[in-house]
Structure 1
Amino acid sequence: MKNVLICASMLGSMLAFSQKKDSAATKSIDEVIINTYVKKDSEYSNKMPLKAIENPQVYSSVDKIILENQGIYTVDDAFKNITGLQTMWTSNGRAGDGGAYVSLRGFVSANSLRNGVLGAVTGTIDAINLEKIEVLKGPSGTLFGSLLTSYGGVINRVTKKPYETFGGNINLSGGSYDTYRAAVDINTPLTQDKKLLFRLNSAYTNEGTFQTEGFRRNLAIAPSLSYKPTDRLSINLDMELFQMKNMSDQTFFFYSGDYLKKVSNIKDLNLDYKNSYLGKDLTNTGRSINFFGQVNYKISNSITSTTNFSSSSSYSNGFMPYLYFMGTDPNMMYRSDQSTRDSKKRSINFQQNFNGDFRIGNLRNRVVVGFDYLRVNNNQNFYDINGFDKGPDGTSVPVPLHQPGFNYTNFNGSTLQEKYNAIAGNETPYIIKGIQENYAVYISNVLNITNNLNVLMALRVDSFNNHPGIIGSANSKETEQFKQTFFSPKLGIVYEVIKDKVSLFGNYQNSFKNLTFYTDANKVIRTPDPEQANQVEGGIKTNLFNGKVSSTFSYYNIKVKDVLRNIPSEGNANAQIQDGTIVSRGVELEINAYLVKGFTAIAGFSYNDSKYTKADESVLDLRPNTSGSPYLANLYASYQFLDGRLKGLGFGVGGNYASENKIYNAKDGVFSLPSYVVLNANAYYDAKKFRIGVKVDNFTNQHYWIGYTTANPQRLINAVGTVTYKF
């Protein structure tokens, strides 16, 4: 409470000072902001241009300049700048589910949107063509549907666009753990009248590991073409290719067992942090190819049409080894693998929006009316070696965790392939196969009742069609087709206490999820109703000193209902009932500040309290093991000389804090990852024709773990230097 009062006092002081500032003086500050300020306005959060101060939804954004200054070249690494977001699982390249997963407001989320439409990538997402990352907080099903969102929020990548002059850069990087990278950004007009423009962004990256085995090799190719035949019509075509060959990051799973009576934290296991406990050649190849098309047409001065088409295709083939604990002895671990073979997922998305900005009487209306079609075709194949090590009777046996000289490298690509060859023809793969379709129409209107008060009202009508398919073993019975229609509303209110400077906001947001079949206590197969989440949120936004200090403080309460939960009964261990509930509530504070000439700070704090309020007795009133750490904080501060002999020289320091993360949380035991503080630093010199920079991540050499019901050790201290030539 004391901290909240201090923040309120600071806010009041800044507001009073802001009102005294001369507008000409603040305008002069605008002119010297070269590359240090994070812009907050978005065209995508409500599918219309809307200032942050007048938007009833909370969202965070980080632009390419911050990423360049910090030496960041992946979207996953950029997430450390987003308030309330915690990385839980790094990408492994598997088709369908291989992308990075994060926690937002207590719920698992993934990167699935690009410029507001489908753009899923199941491997490492290179930031080479990234203009900005936007994270829209809370359930967002009304405008973005169910298949591309989570209850915690939506992650949207805004990409670079072609421009009218020739230019670009070549970038070379190298550093710790056999890291080397080459990247290029080339832009050129293709016609003399500059109506046809082309841009190519591409990068190749190799990364080693701080452990005994592991690597990542990523190729990104992203061409884009824009054509503007008239002042009213523009056409944009884009493609993304992300190809990845890697050995998956070391992953420990923790299942229930008596060992939980002896250990409750990853530190209790005394693991060798630098030992991968794996051998060579346990590799996977993954590929994502996305195509995008957009046609913009200005029908009149107040109405525009936007037609979007996107297709997304992912493929993977290879191993995914993992280690796990169960039984009674925490000094023993099991080794296993879940491979994919010729695994594929394909999706297409068509979206038509009409945007209008007009007045009815004295009331301004900003409206979007849209139609959305999404088709997802799954053909994923998972193969298991359930227990790499076998006893004389053929059952899985563990291996010692601390035995000196034990040969962990015998778990390698050759020996694992031999085991798969030995059971060829008798395998029982787990298959996800089938087609899902969504048809939806939506309307959203921001109505300015007064110059300071606006109300957002939105509604989606969503029709879901689940075609027959297979989820389970290859001999599983094909599921039946079913259709569902769902109405998803949204309401937001913003009152600008001081126009364009301070606003109070509140929102009601909804999202939903179409579930698959379940079996009740009487062994009857049932089609569940859509699970849904409803959020109520309120807070304050500021935009002071002519936009140099912006902040958002909010409180939210999300209730998820109609959750499937287990009710094991005699003769039916898999029986379920659809009456479970989860409640997630919390606070978030984010500040972006350009405090003095050349100095920028990004800071954030979040607290989340999630729990099952109606669930299996084993987890009732407990925090879900996928909710991440309750407390998160982020900070980045930088300074750049904008005048004098040192003009272009800049440096920054920042870090992240996460509290304890309970990755196994049930009545029979708890297993946690410890809290951590990770600090990073960077320096650069930016001139007209070249740029040099260096970053040092985790410079305190912190041993820390992330997890999505898992434990994954993270990189120790590492440094990367970069040289860029501009043309």
Structure 2
Amino acid sequence: MTTKKPLESFKGNIGFTSGSFQTMRTTLDFGGPLDSAKRILYRFNAGYEDTKTFRDVNRQKRIMIAPSFTFKPATGTQVDVDVVYSQFDGYLDRGMGIKANDFYALPRSFTLSQPSDFYNSKTFSLSGRLSQKLADNLSLHLSYMKSVYEEDVNEHRTLNTFADAPKNTIMNMRFFDRHGKDYTDNVVGYLKWDREGDIIDHHIVAGVDIAEYRGDKENQLREARQQTVNGQVVPLIFDLNNPMYTTHDLTSYVWRENVAYPFLSPYKTTGIYIQDQLAVADKLKVILGLRHEHYVSETIDGQKRTQAAQKAWLPRAGLTYELNKQINYFASYSQGFVPVGASFIHQYQNYGADKPFEPERSFQLETGFKTGFLKNQLQVDLSLFHIERSNMLIATGAILNSGFSEYRQSGKVLSEGIELDLRGQLTKEFQIMANYTYNHTDVKASSIASELGESLPGAPKNMASAWLKYVFSQNMLKGLGFGTGVYYVDSRRMDNTIGQDSEGNALWGYWPSYTTMNAAVYYHIGALKMAVNMNNVFDKYYFLGGFDYTRAFPGAPRNIMVSLGYAF
């Protein structure tokens, strides 16, 4: 977690935003020294937002308070303390159903939530960091952070199936009544040694980090998929043709037995690492690193919990070389590791598998150029990448009779392509930012035959954006500015299958591609800043993504936000 750091001179900023969807937002940020010697610094951030959003039955209220302090008791010693408290009151947005396989049959405000639903959560974290200079070229860094998350949830959500498939107009539902808390502890310690040589400089970092997660033993969960109506037990459903929004009588719900709380397996992970960043004759910089990861987790249900341990060595290497004052070449290689919880190893049958799940492994290669033109006013970055992932853990969308979600593992997926980024302050008035990504993904091995040769779920082949900004700097129009931008996302494959063909092969759906445009007007006068932002100017109906026809996430319609900020 990276927070805004305390300041050595007093500065502050207050902002107000209001606009579409009954949105009201206030932010406050100020800080400075508490003593004349500037040995004690502080910063205070706070924010409040209340919005109905563009979704029906989905009001959201957020509060965030984040003070931070820096103490410098002696030369070479620094202690940082950060506190973050956030609170959310509203609804969980689980998306919308796609009626009769028609993406645009329902308004994008359509929801499955009920007025009696709620999602209230609180997060509190406290962290402390010590930086101690041991010698001119040696320093010690220690940190600890504790985070507590608490939630109270009542929600109606889809069972990820239609009761009348393939017509797809009536959705099977389930209800959760969930109350819980979990705790996460993080400890980090490392030494940094800087050694300057005649030709080669070394910057060596060696350390250890530990993270531990555990849910509270008093966590409670109830789940219902049926209710009693006139003495008969009937399934919970939601008719997309005749949606009903009401306050539900939970005493009529039929509660399932032996429901496991859906938090992750308790775990502890320990990483030991060393890295050397070498600088050779000012032009060449090389990074060499090695990390060992040790992950231990426990099963999440049963009186007798079982542990599982997984280990991995993760090397990484990279270099940059200055070809000339304008062009730098770079290349990097790294490996990745995503462990699975003990329940996926010792109780894999609960998740619909016929053998234990394995940790995900991956590696990435990247190379390209970073350039600067027009006296570095225009920055252009070009990179080529190749990524391979194996044993990706994927939820199929099916909910088993055991109450657990069904999972599978992909065999192998490739991702390779090009990224182009352009940004620059071309003149005192004109600024440009643009990027384009070509990402070709290919499933090379899968437990589902029809998935071979398909793209990775949620990964568009093409994605591009651009933003142009012009601010007048002279005469009567000084401080007035305009901005406009465009954003394009290609079609993407859905996570889950949408049915079968006549031969029983799984069928895949695709989210439509979309293009949206945004615009803004700015006016700056001294310490006062005003802005009017219009998002989705042409009111495009589009989907950010989703899992399948039972869970789709639409993008926001045209909306306007007006902001006022003052720096002091």
Same fold by TM-score greater than 0.5: yes
Q: Name 1:673's counterpart in structure 2.
A: 511
1:258-278 Cα distance to aligned partner (Å, 9 max, x none): x9xx74x623xx113333354
Which deviates the most, 318-327 or 234-243?
Answer: 318-327
1:303-345 superposed Cα distances (whole Å, 9 cap, x missing partner): 3322222222211111233345534243512152453522222
Deviation string 1:591-640 (CA, Å, 9 cap, x unpaired) is 12111113221111112222321111345314466433222112112122
Partner letter of residue 712 of structure 1? Answer: F
Candidates 347, 360, 370, aligned match of 2:207: 370
Matches within 5 A, 1:495-574: 495-499=321-325, 501-516=326-341, 517=345, 530-563=359-392
Distance in 2 between the 1:659 and 1:391 partners? 49
Residues 482-515 of structure 1, C-alpha deviation per residue, up to 9 Å, x if partnerless? 323321000112222114x212222111110112
**Aligned-partner Cα distance in 2 for 1:433–1:507:** 32
State the Cα distance separating 1:448 from its structure 2 match.
2.6
1:412-451 deviation line (CA, Å, top 9, x unaligned) = xx306344xx446856344446531112211111223343
Distance 1:506 1:169 in 2: 40
Q: Return closer, same or farther for 1:490/1:426 CA change in 2, 3 Å cut-off.
A: closer
Match of 2:559 in 1: 718
The 3 A distance-change label for structure 1 pair 321 and 623 is farther
Distance 2:459 2:409 in 1: 25
Give the aligned partner of residue 244 of structure 2. 408
* Structure 1 residue matching 2:42: 3-state secondary structure: strand
Specify the alignment match of 2:88 in structure 1.
244
Aligned to 2:460: 629
Matched residues, number: 542
Superposition map of 1:311-330 within 5 A: 311-323=146-158, 324-326=160-162, 327-330=164-167
CA distance in 2, matches of 1:525, 1:480: 19
Q: Is 1:686 matched with 2:519?
A: no
SS state of the match for residue 707, structure 1?
A: strand
Instruction: Summarize deviations over 1:98-141 as a string: whole Å, max 9, x none.
Output: xxxxxxxxxxxxxxxx23xxxxxxxxxxxxxxxxxxxxxxxxxx
CA 649–418 in structure 1, closer or farther in 2 if over 3 Å, else same:
farther
Structure 2 counterparts to residues 99-248 of structure 1, below 5 A: 114-115=1-2, 159-248=3-92
1:580 and 2:414 matched: no
CA distance in 1 between partners of 2:430 and 2:70 (Å): 36
Question: Structure 2 CA distance, aligned partners of 1:575 and 1:248?
Answer: 22
SS at match of 1:408: coil
Q: What is the Cα deviation at residue 169 of structure 1?
A: 2.6
Deviations 1:205-238 (A, max 9, x none): 1011334422110001011111122331111111
Secondary structure of the corresponding residue to residue 708 of structure 1: strand
CA distance in 2, matches of 1:614, 1:460: 28
CA contact (8 A) 2:335 2:364 kept: yes
Question: Counting helix residues as a fraction of each chain, which structure ranks higher?
Answer: 1
* Equivalent residue number for residue 126 of structure 2: 291
Contact 1:293 1:309 in 2 (8 A): yes
Q: Greater CA deviation, 219-228 or 340-349?
A: 340-349
Aligned mates of 2:514, 2:459 — CA distance in 1: 13
Q: Secondary structure at the match of 2:267?
A: strand
Matches of 1:321 and 1:548, distance apart in 2: 53
Checking the alignment, whether the CA contact within 8 Å between 1:626 and 1:708 is kept in structure 2 is no
What amino acid maps onto 1:497 in structure 2?
Answer: L
What residue number does 2:398 align with?
A: none
Code of the aligned partner of 2:250? Q
Q: 1:400 to 1:585 in 2, by over 3 A?
A: same
Change (3 A) 1:636 1:562: same
Tell me the equivalent position of 1:26. none
Query: What secondary structure, in the 3-state scheme, does the structure 1 residue paired with 2:235 have?
Result: coil
**Structure 1 pair 164/613, CA: closer, same or farther in 2 (3 Å)?**
same
- Residue among 170, 173, 193 paired with 1:356: 193
Measured after TM superposition, the shift of residue 363 of structure 1 is 0.8
Flag the 1:564–1:657 CA change in 2: closer, same or farther, 3 A.
closer
Give the C-alpha shift of residue 545 in structure 1.
3.4
SS in 2 for 1:554: strand
- 1:385 paired with 2:216, answer no
Q: Is the 8 A contact 1:384 1:429 kept in 2?
A: no
Residue pair 1:612, 1:619 contacting (<8 A) in 2 also: no
Question: What's the offset of the Cα at 1:703?
Answer: 1.1
Paired residue type of 2:318:
G
Determine which of 463, 485, 488 is the counterpart of 2:294. 463
Q: Distance in 2 between matches of 1:520 and 1:329?
A: 30
Partners of 1:623 and 1:665 within 8 A in 2: no
SS at the partner of 1:703? coil
What is the TM-score when the length of structure 2 is the normalising length?
0.86
Amino acid at match of 1:555: L
Q: Which runs of 5+ in 1 are unaligned?
A: 1-113, 116-158, 567-573
Aligned CA-pair RMSD: 3.3
The one-letter amino acid of 2:537's match is F
Note closer, same or farther for the CA distance 1:280–1:233 as it changes in structure 2 (3 Å cut). same
Tell whether the 8 Å contact from 1:202 to 1:220 is kept in structure 2 after alignment.
Answer: yes
| Structure 2 residues not aligned, in runs of 5+ | 396-404, 498-504
Matches of 1:227 and 1:537, distance apart in 2: 40
Q: Please, which moves more after superposition, 578-587 or 348-357?
A: 578-587
- Structure 1 residue 180 displacement after superposition: 0.9
Q: Offset of 1:676 from its aligned partner?
A: 1.1
Paired AA for residue 379 in structure 2: S
CA distance in 1, matches of 2:283, 2:468: 33
CA distance in 1, matches of 2:393, 2:429: 53
Cα deviation for residue 518 of structure 1 reads 5.5
Cα 1:658–1:456 change in 2 (3 A) is same
Residue number in structure 2 paired with 1:99: none
Q: Using the alignment, how far apart are the partners of 1:242 and 1:169 within structure 2?
A: 20
Q: Distance in 2 between matches of 1:492 and 1:542?
A: 18
Corresponding residue of 1:59? none
TM-score by length of 1: 0.68
- Bigger mean CA offset, 373-382 vs 344-353: 373-382
Which position in structure 2 is the counterpart of 1:417?
A: 250
Task: Note the 1:304-343 alignment, pairs <5 A.
Answer: 304-323=139-158, 324-326=160-162, 327-334=164-171, 336-339=173-176, 341-343=178-180
Q: Distance in 1 between matches of 2:176 and 2:407?
A: 29
- Give me the identity figure in percent: 21
Contact between 1:175 and 1:721, CA under 8 Å: does it hold in 2? yes
SS in 2 for 1:177: helix
Tell me which protein shows more strand as a share of its residues.
2
| Matching of residues 427-466 of structure 1 within 5 Å | 428-432=259-263, 434-466=265-297
Is the alpha carbon distance of 1:634 and 1:418 closer, same or farther for their aligned partners in structure 2, counting shifts above 3 Å?
farther
Report the equivalent of 1:603.
434
Please point out which of 485, 494, 508 is paired with 2:320. Answer: 494
Asked if the contact 2:337–2:360 (Cα under 8 Å) also holds between the matched residues in 1, the reply is yes
> Where does residue 34 of structure 1 map in the other structure?
none
Distance in 2 between residues matched to 1:391 and 1:331, nearest whole Å: 27
- How far residue 644 of structure 1 moved from its aligned partner, in angstroms, is 3.9
Mapped partners of 1:198, 1:712: distance in 2: 40
Query: Measured at CA, do residues 390 and 621 of structure 1 come closer, stay the same or move farther in structure 2, by a change above 3 Å?
Result: farther
TM-superposed CA distance for 1:642, in Å, is 3.4
Greater mean alpha carbon deviation, residues 484-493 or residues 641-650: 641-650
